[in-house]
């Protein structure tokens, strides 16, 4: 499996890297969050721009993006607009979704963009090519907040992300039983052992799935999401506790 390096962070080797979301709705909230994150032991910051109240104004997104970059300096930034159907805060036309991501890729302000698998193969492939042109990495993703698909389906979705050119392949699913958590972990391990040629990121959400957020080094997930103040998805562990647990597991492997 090849690794992916963004600034000084390498995904795909060692302990899972910690990504912490910013979910501010206003400029003031985002700047406060960014300043707080500087003090935390994290690897990547995810800007969940779907929370931002002015997200439908390209100029405003770019303007606050400049300020966030000034604060976070060399910290890798993952730019994410999560659509409503995959658990996000709002819906926009798909044309705007791609326009927004393309603007940020061209801006030089972000290091990675989040692109959802089911936004249309043609549009996704085009966006991946544009990201490559701007030296921006693509985290391709899929989220199921209702259930955990069968193991084979989880693997198929991750493999499709690879086929579409993702740099990092990510899936998050909701367990309704402990068996579902085992299904996600087994799918992750099989993907790692048989099919993955680039970093994968998987998680079982909610309290039941917390084990999947800390056991990535064992099963093959390269990144995990921790919470600073407000979590962006159910089951996220506070970042300081998460780092401590990851270090203990890493030292024991």
Catalytic residues: 143, 170
Say how many C-beta atoms besides its own lie within 10 A of residue 208's C-beta.
17
Task: Give the span between the Cα atoms of 49 and 114, in whole angstroms.
Answer: 11
- Rounded to whole angstroms, what are the CA distances from 34 to 10, 23, 72, 84? 22, 10, 7, 24
- What does the DSSP 8-state code read for residue 68? H
Burial class (CB in 10 A: 0-12, 13-18, 19+), 122: exposed
If DSSP codes are grouped into helix, strand and coil, which group holds residue 40?
A: coil
Residues 6+ apart with CB under 8 A from 91: 83, 84, 85
CB of 165 within 8 A of CB of 138? yes
| Assigned token pair, 18 | 């910690």
SS (H, E, C) 172-218: EECCCCHHHHHHHHHHHHHHHHHHCCCCEEEEECCHHHHHHHHCHHH
Task: Give the span between the Cα atoms of 33 and 228, in whole angstroms.
Answer: 9
Task: Give the span between the Cα atoms of 35 and 76, in whole angstroms.
Answer: 15
Task: Give the span between the Cα atoms of 58 and 56, in whole angstroms.
Answer: 6
């Amino acid at each position: 499996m090849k690794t992916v390096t963004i600034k000084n962070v390498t995904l795909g080797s060692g302990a899972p890297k910690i990504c912490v979301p910013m979910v501010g709705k206003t400029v003031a909230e985002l700047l406060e969050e960014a300043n707080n994150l500087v003090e935390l032991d994290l690897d990547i910051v995810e800007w969940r721009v779907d929370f931002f109240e002015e997200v439908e104004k390209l100029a405003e997104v770019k303007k606050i993006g400049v300020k966030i970059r000034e604060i976070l300096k060399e910290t890798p930034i993952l730019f994410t607009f999560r659509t409503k159907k995959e658990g996000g805060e709002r819906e926009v036309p798909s044309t705007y979704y791609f326009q927004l991501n393309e603007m940020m890729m061209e801006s030089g302000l972000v290091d990675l963009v989040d692109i959802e698998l089911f936004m249309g193969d043609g549009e996704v492939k085009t966006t991946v090519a544009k990201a490559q042109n701007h030296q921006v990495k693509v985290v391709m993703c899929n989220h199921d907040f209702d259930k955990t698909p069968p193991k084979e389906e989880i693997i198929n979705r991750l493999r499709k992300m690879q086929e579409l050119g993702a740099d990092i392949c990510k899936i998050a699913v909701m367990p309704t039983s402990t068996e579902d958590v085992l299904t996600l972990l087994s799918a992750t391990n099989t993907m790692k052992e048989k099919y993955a040629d680039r970093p994968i990121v998987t998680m079982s959400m909610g309290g039941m799935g917390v084990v999947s957020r800390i056991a990535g080094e064992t099963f093959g997930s390269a990144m995990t999401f921790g919470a600073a103040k407000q979590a962006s998805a159910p089951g996220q562990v506070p970042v300081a506790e998460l780092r401590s647990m990851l270090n203990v597991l890493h030292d024991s492997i």
